[in-house]
Amino acid sequence: MKIKRTERGWAGHFCCADECLFRRNTLLEYGDIHIVVSTIGAMMDEDEFVEIGRGRYYETMAFHAKHIEDKYWDADVKRQVYFNSNWNLPKIDDDNIVNDMHEIVVNEIIDGLENGNDYSPT
């Protein structure tokens, strides 16, 4: 079975994502498993960057997805998927560094799926 990967044009999590300059959302589909990997950051308040959480300006999170209105899959933020890779950056950085962080998480989850991890809560 092959993993289907879809890059999407909206933030996958964070209530203030509309204030973030960096938003990335990747849907991974593997059989009946649907997982959203979301990276947000570089949040602006007036003319300055502000932390999105304690000590971080970017974060990557992953969630199982739920089907919305029979149209698309979106993050179910009540069903977080845990991973081992770095998930945050403590300073404003080059978008390439942030993209790399996102890709590392996506690849970790793909590897896990291919090796039988369904990312069920433990």
Domain assignment present for 19:
yes
Give the chain's domain count. Answer: 1
Question: Taking residues 105-115, what's their average pLDDT?
Answer: 98
Domain assignment present for 36:
yes
Domain assignment present for 16:
yes
Segment 11-33, tens digit of pLDDT? 888 888 999 999 999 999 999 99
Report residue 56 as tokens: 């971080």
* Residue where the block lists tokens 């590392």: 104
Domain assignment present for 71:
yes
Segment 50-83, tens digit of pLDDT? 999 999 999 999 999 999 988 889 999 999 999 9
Domain assignment present for 43:
yes
- Mean pLDDT over all residues of the chain? 94
Q: Are 65 and 76 in contact (CB under 8 A)?
A: yes
Q: Are 43 and 57 in contact (CB under 8 A)?
A: yes
Q: Residue 122 has what pLDDT?
A: 60
- Signed CA dihedral, 13, 17, 20, 25: sign only: positive
Q: Residue 69 has what pLDDT?
A: 85
Q: Residue 70 has what pLDDT?
A: 80
Q: What Cα–Cα distance (Å) separates residue 3 from each residue in 6, 57, 108?
A: 10, 30, 13
Coil, helix or strand at residue 51 = coil
What's the domain range around 19? 4-114
14-18, 104-108, 111-115: segment of lowest average pLDDT: 14-18
Domain assignment present for 121:
no
Confidence of residue 117 (pLDDT cuts 50, 70, 90): very high
Domain assignment present for 120:
no
